[in-house]
Amino acid sequence: MEYKKLQGKLRKHILKMHFGAGSGHIGCSLSCIDIMIAILKTRKEGDTFILSKGHAASALYTIMNETGDIPDDDIATFYKNATELPAHPAPLKYAAIPFATGSLGHGLPLAAGIAKANKLKGTGNTSFVLMSDGETNEGTSWEAAHFAVAHKLDNLVAVIDRNGLQGFGNTKDILGDTAAASLWTAMGFEVVETAGHDVAALVAAKDKLLLSLNGKPKLIIAHTVKGKGISYMEDKMEWHYLPMTETQYADAVEEIDMLYCR
């Protein structure tokens, strides 16, 4: 399947939402939208997806609009008063958003619990969770990882959006490289590393891991770039926070058109 035009379309949608709202958290959404395409466009009915890095909510809302889970009229309310689509995902309105997330480190525990429930019920369903590399600093992430290994949750697939940046600097400089494959492999995860903006490669990695029913929880380490597709945003920590000016928005859309849509 050709994903390039979809990658561009959804990036432009993210930019439009943020410009209209005058909001930040743009770079982190551009970092992980390709991962969400790989999971949410190919998952089977009954599978669950948790966005643990909830600050990338616009990417989630955009892909859910693409899959029909969020209607166009609702998307237009993003970040506005009384919206059901706030800066971090809120639960209960949409079936595809089962939990509120954004306090980092909570997504893996939730996904592990769902995977355990699926094992007990024998559903055969997969529990997916998308994490930031920064949240691998969190103790809750490591406690949940130990739980997943101890309970042989090979129906759990975690994906780390490894863009190397978190809220206060380079991830490796904060608490060290807690997203390293060697750490997760040593703990007992089955780990695959891949290019995080190559949707076909991400789908292949996911499908390969799902065929391996060896009692090991699964992890994809997706190597990404914060702000991917916008040259003035790429690998810049400040685009975790800044909104766009009118000129910056126009430049960003033009660049996406050049890279993805022609």
Secondary structure letter of residue 237 according to DSSP: G
Q: What are phi and psi of 5, to 5 degrees?
A: -65, -35
Which residues lie across from 219 on neighbouring strands? 158, 191
DSSP 3-state of 217: coil
Q: What are phi and psi of 130, to 5 degrees?
A: -105, 120
Per-block mean pLDDT, blocks of 10 residues, the chain (262 long) = 91 97 95 98 95 96 95 94 94 92 92 98 97 94 97 98 88 90 97 98 96 95 98 94 96 96 77
Q: Which two tokens stand for residue 216?
A: 């090991």
The β-bridge relationship of strands 218-223 and 156-162 is parallel
**What pLDDT score was predicted for residue 172?**
86
CA distance 193 to 175: 21
* pTM for this model (two decimals): 0.96
**What pLDDT score was predicted for residue 1?**
57
**What pLDDT score was predicted for residue 126?**
98
Distant-in-sequence, close-in-space partners of 149: CB < 8 Å, separation ≥ 6? 187, 188, 189, 216, 217
- DSSP string for residues in 75-98: HTTTTSTT-SS-SS--SSSSTT--
Which residues lie across from 127 on neighbouring strands? 48, 156
12, 243, 53, 64: which is closest to 160 by C-alpha? 53
Please, what is the end-to-end C-alpha distance for the chain in angstroms? 17
**What pLDDT score was predicted for residue 247?**
98
DSSP 3-state of 178: coil
Q: What are phi and psi of 222, to 5 degrees?
A: -100, 115
List the alpha helices (DSSP H) in the chain. 4-21, 26-40, 57-66, 72-75, 107-121, 139-150, 171-174, 181-187, 199-210, 246-260
Which structural domains are found in the chain, ordered by start? 4-238+250-260 (3.40.50.970)
Quick one: residue 55, left, alpha or beta (phi over 0 = left, psi -120 to 50 = alpha)?
alpha
